[in-house]
Chains A and B, each alone.
Chain A
Amino acid sequence: AQSVTQPDIHITVSEGASLELRCNYSYGATPYLFWYVQSPGQGLQLLLKYFSGDTLVQGIKGFEAEFKRSQSSFNLRKPSVHWSDAAEYFCAVPSDDTGRRALTFGSGTRLQVQP
């Protein structure tokens, strides 16, 4: 079964510093991959998605992610973190090759931003 692992439960960075959140996937074929963000008391918002093609994907709010097949990774990056980026971040993969059905989420990484 498809799965994703987020090794870091909690990360703290200083405002203005760069950020990288890790995601490793287990998937039989070329995966669809997603990063979602969840602010306190909010639902999930899609940051970016990878379907195929260019392995560097640009998303909203200045985030980007790079798909590396050799490392089974899809890490999320941001060059300069803002205080408003403090939230929970989830990596996700569809449950089947069609990408139309259920999403399987990682356990999340909570980002804290220090002033």
Chain B
Amino acid sequence: DAGVTQSPTHLIKTRGQQVTLRCSPKSGHDTVSWYQQALGQGPQFIFQYYEEEERQRGNFPDRFSGHQFPNYSSELNVNALLLGDSALYLCASSAGQGLSYNEQFFGPGTRLTVL
């Protein structure tokens, strides 16, 4: 059983460009969350997708947007890149929005460098 997969592994962009990161959830999972982890920091929640809708959003500007596809995979898009967007972007998947807590499983991340 493949866990959470993310692509690409590494990415280098220049300021002002746009980037798209991709995530495939663990088999059986339908909820995808994205986190940004700057160097030396803990992950910061960006947003969460369930049933192809954004269900919760952290304190990130509108330059950060996302999408979830019918197969539950997800994309994170960042427009007008800034140097401060350089970070490890983590995707996490979980199973549903039921009453009990659903553990989030994390992918290995995409390392984005903005020059």
Assess whether A60 is interfacial by the CB under 8 Å rule: no
Residues on B with C-beta less than 8 A from A43 are 4, 90, 106-109
Q: Size range of the interface on A?
A: 20 to 34
Binding site secondary structure of chain B:
loop
Which of B43, B58, B90, B92 has most A Cβ within 10 Å?
B43
Question: Which of B13-21, B72-80, B95-103 touches A?
Answer: B95-103
Residues on B with C-beta less than 8 A from A49 are 101, 103
Assess whether B33 is interfacial by the CB under 8 Å rule: yes
A105 CA to B98 CA, complexed, in Å? 22
Which positions 95-115 of chain A face chain B at CB distance < 8 Å?
95, 98-108
CB proximity of A52 to chain B, nearest CB, Å = 10
Residues on A with C-beta less than 8 A from B103 are 46, 49
Residues of B in contact (CB 8 Å), total: 29
Question: A44-B90, A100-B102 given as contacts; is B108 within 8 A of A107 (CB)?
Answer: no
Q: Mark B21-40, 1 if CB is under 8 A from A, else 0.
A: 00000000000010100001
Assess whether A45 is interfacial by the CB under 8 Å rule: yes
Assess whether A42 is interfacial by the CB under 8 Å rule: yes
Residues on A with C-beta less than 8 A from B108 are 41-43
Q: Mark A9-38, 1 if CB is under 8 A from B, else 0.
A: 000000000000000000000001000100
Residues on B with C-beta less than 8 A from A90 are 42-43
Q: B56 and A101: CB pair below 8 A? A: yes
A107 CA to B39 CA, complexed, in Å? 10
Q: A101 and B43: CB pair below 8 A? A: no
Which of B33, B42, B98 has most A Cβ within 10 Å?
B42
- B-binding residues in A (CB < 8 A): 32, 36, 41-46, 49, 51, 90, 92, 94-95, 98-108
